[in-house]
Homo-oligomer: A and B are copies of this chain.
C-alpha cells in the first residue's frame, strides 16, 4: 500500500498529470471540491475506515471536534452526491446507519495516498511552518 512516488516517477508522470489538469471539467471539479473540500467531509469519509456501517453518534465521536449540526449537514451533502447511503430503522430508540456507497469507497481510496503522504511528511510540514513563522518574526 506504499504508493508514494519518487521524484523520478513524478517527472515521468508529469505529462499525464498535466493532461488531467487540463481536462477542463472545471465546473464538475469545483462541485466535487465544494463538497469534499470542506472542513469536515474528508474526515467524515475517513471514519468509515474503522467500520463499514456507522451510526450518527458513532461518527460524531470519531470525527474529532465536529459539531452535530455540521455532521448532519455533511452527511446530507454526501448522501446527495451519492457517496453515502442512509438506512433508517423503525425502532425505538431510533437507529440510522450510514454506509459508503461504492462511489464513496472509491473516493476514500483515492484520498488515502494523501493521508499517507501527510503522515510521511509530517515533520517537514511542521518545520516549514515554524521556519516561516521565525523568518517573519525577525523582520
Write the residues of chain A forming the contact surface with B, with a CB cutoff of 8 angstroms.
1, 3-5, 7, 10, 13-14, 16-18, 20-23, 25-26, 28-34, 36-39, 41-43, 46-47, 49-50, 64, 79-83, 101-103, 105-119, 121-122, 124-129, 131-132
Taking A17-B49, A20-B112, A129-B80 as contacts, is the C-beta distance between A33 and B26 under 8 angstroms? no
Taking A43-B33, A119-B23, A124-B103 as contacts, is the C-beta distance between A18 and B49 under 8 angstroms? yes
Chain B minimum-CB-distance residue to A14? B49
Taking A21-B50, A49-B22, A103-B125 as contacts, is the C-beta distance between A3 and B3 under 8 angstroms? yes
Q: What would be 23 A-B contacts, judged by CB atoms less than 8 Å apart?
A: A1-B16, A1-B17, A4-B106, A4-B110, A7-B105, A10-B105, A10-B106, A18-B50, A20-B49, A21-B47, A25-B118, A28-B118, A28-B122, A29-B118, A31-B125, A31-B129, A33-B39, A33-B43, A37-B38, A82-B124, A103-B121, A103-B125, A106-B121
